[in-house]
Structure 1
Amino acid sequence: MKTRLWTLILPLSAGLACAGPNPGGSAGGTIELAALDAVFSDFNDPNGPGCAFAVSRDGQQVMARAYGMANLEWDIPNTPETVFEPGSVSKQFTAAATILLALDGRIDLDDDIREYFPEMPDYGEPITVRMLIHHTSGLRDWGSVAGIEGWPRTTRIHTHSHALDIASRQRALNYAPGRYYSYTNTGYNLQAMLVERVTGQTFDEFSQARIFGPLGMTKTEWRDDFTEIVEERSVGYRRGEDGQWHMLMPFENVHGNGGLLTTVGDLLKFTRNLDTGDVGGPEFIRLMHDEGTLDSGRRIGYAGGLRVGEYKGVREVRHSGSTAAYRGFLTRYPDHGVAVSLMCNAREADSGGLARQVAELYLADAITEASPADPAGVDVDPARVAAFAGGYRDTRTGQYLELTADGSSLRLGGGIQGLQLMAASETEFTSPAGVSIAFEPGAEGGRPAAIMNTSGAVDVRIEPVGEFSPTAADLADYVGAYRSDEAEVTYWLEVEDGSLVLKDRYGDGEALDPVYPDAFTQGGTTYIFHRGDGGRVTEASLSQGRVWDLRFDRVP
């Protein structure tokens, strides 16, 4: 167990407010505890997991409360001093460590990462440290590749050696470095390893000396050994198919991408430093908030493990996170001096939604709601909207997506569960979630292509695809074994009951749905088959959220 100087506190029962200066105070007046408790009504249960949150104003913590249970087997409640994991909220700490190392002059953010990781392939264009920070490296997400192999996160004790091994086996990138944005944990695991290789310290030792210690974060550490005893740590829980709570813990040693063990109070100490620069100074603050820029010159809104943007008219700097059943959200509204930290040990918790509900109570009149509008946006002929409905192909990745018509609006993802896009004009559709689709001038006799933008993908061209109803003879073309050395896995394709079925090494599998010629989908993954000169299928590729065009050779 790492040595820690723990703060002595009295036990706090679930839902009890933590004393502090001006408890509940805000620019908009006193915040009623009942209003805060109402936000967490679904998690204030002595028979289930819950959440803890804290609020600061101008760097002073003004509120901290907790709900639900930290440990269901021992009936231990969550408190504001409970240790959780905030998932990818951790990334800003990793970026901070990398930036501090650069400010020390020990690395340059524009260094080629192969200076520190010679085992990584030469992709023809350099990947810089800065690209690791901004998710513009093109590196595939190692955890996604591990899942393709058959060992998704939480099913095996992954280490940094595994992460680096998987990354170094990738013969191709998702895209040329700097061309696009693609969220990838690989870049943040590499940063943690980079700090260790340059300093000779463990990542936790460096972080304790340069970040946690100076900021007084006495209950924060990296989970670099999941077997260590951590005082006051909560257990993560998910709801099982039987309706009961089941443990779901991150039994892995990868960190830097996530893996921070901390409290809501300690998170506020760190985010305050992003205003003051007590650690790092003004250049540290600038680099932490410096948004990534693509080769096209477009800025992407992702900075040093931080998303920079607006929420209901208020400037916001935030990041969300999830690891196993833990959920986290850390957000700051610099123009109003308000910050909210929140962590939960329930997988079902919408950490961002909960934290922002708390923030709205403290921001009061600073929040501006969008004016009420017709659910369909502008008045567009439903028949015109219906003309856009159908299947589309992401031209970068080959991934399939579906648009369905819903009166004067579209749904992305199909059916009533899809994301609703309201009409902004006869050819443009948008959602409050930041997704927009703009159709190109009409295509003669068919659906037009469109440009789609989301929070994680900008200027993506999507093209309409026709329906694909393969015959038994067509399906026979795909039958066989396919091998990927990059993922160290072989898949088998067979025809069963008139469907193409993808099976793993254990003989388990599910049917694939045909979506366009030589392309099938299953669970958000698109499988595309490629043919040689003679028309025979010779290889396949797989594309999903964080892995694009992973190739499989057909086994003779």
Structure 2
Amino acid sequence: MKKLMLFFIIFIYQTSVAQIHQDTLALIEKIFERYQATSPGCQLAISQNNRIVFSKAWGIADLEHRVSLTTESIIEAGSVSKQFTAAAILLLQQTGKLSLNDDVRKYIPELPDYETVITLQHLIHHTSGIKDWGSIMAFSDWPRGTKIYSNNDVLNILVHQQSLNNKPGDEYLYSNSNYVLLSIIVERITGKSLEEFTRSFIFEPAGMKHTQWRSNLNRIVPDRAIAYRKSNSTYFTDMPFENVYGNGGLLTTAEDLLRWNNYFLSGKLGSPSLLPNQLSVIALNNGRKNAYAAGLRIDSLRGWKAIMHDGATAAYRSTLEYYPDLKLSIAWLSNTSEFDGGREGLTELRDLLLKDKSPINGNAKIDTILVAPKILTTYAGWYKDRLTNTGIGLIVKNDKLQTTNGKILVPIAENEFILGSSRIKFQSDQKRPFYIKDENGVIYENVEEADNSPAILKDCIGEYYSDEVEAKLSISIENDKLVIHRNSNTKFTLNATYKDGFDIENSSIRVLFERDKKHKIKSLKFTSPRVRNITFKKLQ
């Protein structure tokens, strides 16, 4: 083990072997000492040239029974699971059982006909436009985690959806529904569950002796680590109590994940090797790059090419990363969400193992200009993203154009500005005095400012029902604001943005009220990061 570690450190750092070896081990221990011996913890395994050179576990697997976490403890891998579902589909294509160009309705005819073809290719690369099932149910009385859902339940949810998020192939928009559908397709084609198929054709050939799926939450899984979240100073059990799998649900170990990396990256999956298909990315309809391959992200970290995916289910967290130029793999699994927000130690680990060779562009000079305040004033007002209903308010303050929350728009031309990391341009046509278009082609239309007068808000009061989520809600006014009430006794305050547009307080959810020809409210639509336009019709 020590010899392998020495080789590993020499390869990466090319410097004093003894000193670096000792320091690196000490630094890894220092990074992960945040996982204390009496708290939930993590597994970390590292391989170099397809050989495991470091593997250790920290913390507790089961707080109630005080069972320590080991390198053989079973931890759920969240969305790292997706690459195995994609691999199953690619194996079936290789044997002629399906084609990635097939219409998904060939295998799942229950799905609505959206008058556009959605292919298996779209599902794999998250460009289908099919809404994320968990995000849909967040608007119901039974959000994910409050009811035991299965893959068939997910299909039933999707059958009720009256629209797509986007035209297939137009956008990359992550959706767990895509991979649940792929799981169902494997079962319908082979007559075997995804669990049975992957065990025979992936897990066993790859030597993943500890790996299985959470297809039945009531099944006893020896050595499984319980997942925990922390609130204030107290830990609470936070497990994925559902039978949905294929999008997530892989039960595994960090060492097994490294065995998988060794297997498929060595070209051993499929005959001939399916590796090129696994790493293949497909451009969007407009030719723009989509970096999502077959359940894998083709990315770059610290200037190094990376093949990777992370995951989160309930309080489980995970990542599996491979850096081909270094022949370096990192697998990390944790049974706690305590360190969310980049505090789990992975950033420091990458800093330690990967010399930063990112292009130095922090001091890149931007040529700015001065724009007359009277011109800036013409741009002021409210704009709405026509896809997500997100509102942006612009004002002129101290002769500068800025958002209502204080972000400055830096002018680089009379009608072009830098906002954060985006470049936006003000344009006009015969229909609109001004609209905003960003570098990704997203259009923000000019809309009227919000009117919070009692008469306007009163028009929104009432009960609403959605066929898409089979749920009802009611809206009232409290403290001069609209409030949504659910049957689960939860309520959400709405903050006005533009006319008939609102944000749910302390969330990323947008609400847009729609009016009929008589200007009366007829419905409302919810949009969140993974679903757009979930419609609730106003009841008379």
So what's the TM-score if we normalise by structure 2?
A: 0.88
The residue that corresponds to 1:440 in the other structure is 426
Report the alpha carbon displacement of residue 439 of structure 1 after superposing the two structures with TM. Answer: 3.3
Instruction: Give structure 1 stretches of 5+ with no counterpart.
Output: 1-17
Q: CA deviation at 1:208?
A: 0.6
Corresponding residue SS for 1:270: helix
Residues 285-340 of structure 1, C-alpha deviations (whole Å, 9 max, x = no match): 11111113222122211110111121121111111110000111111111221111
Q: Residues 452, 111 of structure 1: CA spacing in aligned structure 2 closer, same or farther, 3 A cutoff?
A: same
Identify which of 210, 214, 218 aligns with 1:227.
218
Partner of 1:503: 485
1:323 and 2:323 correspond:
no
Alignment correspondent of 2:39: 48
Taking the aligned partners of 1:346 and 1:413, their CA distance within structure 2 comes to 37
Q: Which residues of structure 2 form unaligned runs of 5+?
A: 15-19
Output the amino acid matched with 2:243.
Answer: N
| Contact 1:340–1:359 (Cα < 8 Å) also in 2 | no
Secondary structure in 1 matching 2:207: coil
CA offsets 1:35-58 (integer angstroms, 9 cap, x no match): 1123224x3312321221111112
Distance 1:390 1:266, change over 3 A: farther
Q: Is the 8 A contact 2:141 2:488 kept in 1?
A: no
Write the mapping of 1:122-133 to structure 2, written as runs, cut at 5 A.
122-133=113-124
Classify the secondary structure of the residue corresponding to 1:214: helix
Q: Structure 1 527/337 Cα, relative in aligned 2: closer, same or farther at 3 Å?
A: same
Aligned AA (2:302): K
Q: Assess, with a 3 A threshold, how the Cα gap between structure 1 residues 162 and 276 changes in structure 2: closer, same or farther.
A: same
Whether contact under 8 Å (1:380, 1:408) holds in the other structure is no
1:355-403 Cα distance to aligned partner (Å, 9 max, x none): 3432342333x634635549x977788999x988986422212133568
Paired letter, 2:492: E
The answer (yes or no) to whether the contact 1:139–1:187 under 8 Å persists in 2 is yes
Taking the aligned partners of 1:252 and 1:21, their CA distance within structure 2 comes to: 41
Q: Which deviates more from structure 2 when the two are superposed, residues 247-256 or residues 537-546? A: 537-546
Match status 1:256 vs 2:246: yes
Amino acid at match of 1:436: S
SS, match of residue 196 in structure 2: helix
Q: How far is 1:254 from its partner?
A: 0.4
For the Cα contact (< 8 Å) 1:141–1:547, is it kept in 2? yes
Task: Work out the CA distance in 2 between the residues paired with 1:63 and 1:404.
Answer: 55
Deviations 1:448-472 (A, max 9, x none): 744446xxxx432234555414111
CA distance in structure 2 between the partners assigned to 1:231 and 1:412 by the alignment: 54
- What amino acid sits opposite 1:172 in the alignment? S
Give distance in 2, aligned partners of 1:424 and 1:230.
Answer: 59
- How far residue 184 of structure 1 moved from its aligned partner, in angstroms, is 0.5
Q: Partners of 1:424 and 1:338 in 2: how far apart?
A: 43
- Determine which of 267, 283, 293 is the counterpart of 2:283: 293
Q: Which of 242-251 and 354-363 deviates more?
A: 354-363
C-alpha offsets along residues 160-214 of structure 1, whole Å, 9 cap, x if unaligned?
Answer: 1110000111121112222222110001001111101111111111001111000
Partner of 1:555: 539
> Percent identity of the aligned residues?
33
Give the TM-score of the pair, scaled to structure 1.
0.85
After superposition, give the CA deviation of every residue in 1:106-165 in whole Å (9 maximum; x if it has no partner): 011111111111111111111111111011111011111111112222221111111000
Cα 1:502–1:382, aligned 2, differ >3 Å: closer, same or farther?
Answer: farther
What amino acid sits opposite 1:525 in the alignment?
A: I
Question: For residue 425 of structure 2, what is the amino acid of its counterpart?
Answer: F
Q: Quote the residue 1:266 is aligned against.
A: 256
Contact between 2:371 and 2:411, CA under 8 Å: does it hold in 1? no
Partner of 1:12: none
Q: Return the alpha-carbon distance in structure 1 between the equivalents of residues 136 and 47 of structure 2.
A: 39
Matches for 1:170-319 after TM superposition, within 5 Å: 170-240=161-231, 242-281=232-271, 283-319=273-309
**Which of 319-328 and 269-278 deviates more?**
269-278
CA RMSD between the two structures: 3.3
Query: Out of 9, 17, 28, which is 2:13 matched to?
Result: 28
1:259 Cα offset (Å):
0.4
Q: For 2:520, which of 536, 550, 554 is the aligned residue?
A: 536
Tell me the residue number matched to 1:482. Answer: 464
Query: Residues 73-88 of structure 1 correspond to what in structure 2 (within 5 A)?
Result: 73-88=64-79
The answer to whether the 8 Å contact 2:132/2:530 transfers is yes
- Farther-moved stretch of structure 1 (341-350 vs 530-539): 341-350
2:329 corresponds to which of 316, 339, 356: 339
**What SS does the corresponding residue of 2:206 show, helix, strand or coil?**
coil
* Aligned pairs, number: 522
Match of residue 167 from structure 1: 158
1:546 is aligned to 530
Partner deviation per Cα, 1:446-497 (whole Å, 9 max, x = no partner): 99744446xxxx4322345554141111111111111110110111111223
User: How much has 1:410 moved relative to structure 2?
Assistant: 11
Distance 1:262 1:404 in 2: 52
SS of aligned partner of 1:206: helix
For 2:200 and 2:164, the matched residues in 1 are separated by 35
CA contact (8 A) 1:399 1:544 kept: no
Aligned residue type for 2:539:
V
Q: CA deviation at 1:282?
A: 5.3
Q: Give the C-alpha shift of residue 406 in structure 1.
A: 12
Q: Is the 8 A contact 2:302 2:354 kept in 1?
A: no
CA distance in 2 between counterparts of 1:507 and 1:195 reads 40
CA distance in structure 1 between the aligned counterparts of 2:371 and 2:147, rounded to whole angstroms: 50
Identify if the C-alpha distance between structure 1 residues 156 and 99 changes in structure 2 by more than 3 Å, giving closer, same or farther.
same
Aligned equivalents of 1:88, 1:413: Cα separation in 2: 36
> SS of the counterpart of 1:21?
helix
Give the Cα–Cα distance (whole angstroms) in 2 for the partners of residues 404 and 273 of structure 1.
Answer: 56
Q: How big is the shift at 1:499?
A: 1.5
Counterparts of 1:355 and 1:405, CA distance in 2: 42
- After superposition, the Cα gap between the structure-2 partners of 1:371 and 1:118, relative to the gap in structure 1 and judged at 3 Å, is closer
Structure 1 residue aligned with 2:350, among 321, 346, 359?
359
